[in-house]
Amino acid sequence: MLELARRSLMAGLAAASVIPVANAQDSKFAKDKLRVYARVRGAPKGQAAMWWYTGKLWGKRNLDAAVQFFRVDGFSFNRMEMQPDGTLIQKMVEVGFWNDPTTGKPADDWTNPITGLPCRPKHYKSSQAFTFTSDGQSHRHADAAPTQAFNGVITDPIVSGDTLWIGEDLILKATPPQPQTPIADPLMNVGPVVTATSLVNYTAKTKDLEAPDAQWVPATMNFQTMGSWYPWMRMGNEPGNIMFQLVGRKLRRSDEMPLALQALINERHPGFLENPGV
């Protein structure tokens, strides 16, 4: 009886200390979520915002526990352009590296811990471009690769105290392009369909968003994905998926990123930091 009373007291104290969460539909930020998203992810006056991120890449075979494959370190430029018709054009280019979880050095040669097979990881440089309508729905540009299914949306902002979260969900299912010549290694054939589930949340302070649009908005991000094996992992048609687990921060200058990553980018992608092409 005494234990039940103690639990009831603790529950009551916890309930009394909860910070109320604003209903997204009632939030003043929800009424203009496209602009909120553009300010949190982008930079003022149409400039390219810079983002540094780090984290882990996991691999999971069906019915097995997940295994960490790599430490991931990357850097991106993001440009947000509000249009006169109320739509938002988002352009992004990034570079990233699959690094050894222990040494932090690029894993140019790698033994897949699930299969024990030797692999040659392909570090990445990629880009994306989307147009978001005023309701937050995404539309891919005409030159994007074809898909079987695609759904992209900017989520309604959530406000608690002085903190705001706003997300971007991108769900994709596609047929991988067919090679012109047969794949020499059958284990690099990932099958007839690839999927990607990209879920990112950006965090900012409400006071920064209440300032004029020309003001910088500091922000951080949390990023999770689930998708198909990359061909170079040599998993073949083995059922399973990979998962990103990343955190990041918006930077004012590229020299705010870790020096080791800056040196690696300059070595592997000379000129990228000065002219990213976005």
Mean pLDDT across the chain, nearest whole number?
A: 89
pLDDT tens-digit map of 136-183? 999 776 666 677 888 999 999 999 999 999 999 999 999 887 777 788
pLDDT tens-digit map of 171-222? 999 988 777 778 889 999 888 899 999 999 999 999 999 999 999 999 999 9
Q: pTM for the full model? A: 0.87
Which residue, among 49, 56, 101, has the nearest Cα to 75 in the 3D structure?
A: 49
Which residue, among 72, 75, 55, has the nearest Cα to 257 in the 3D structure?
A: 75
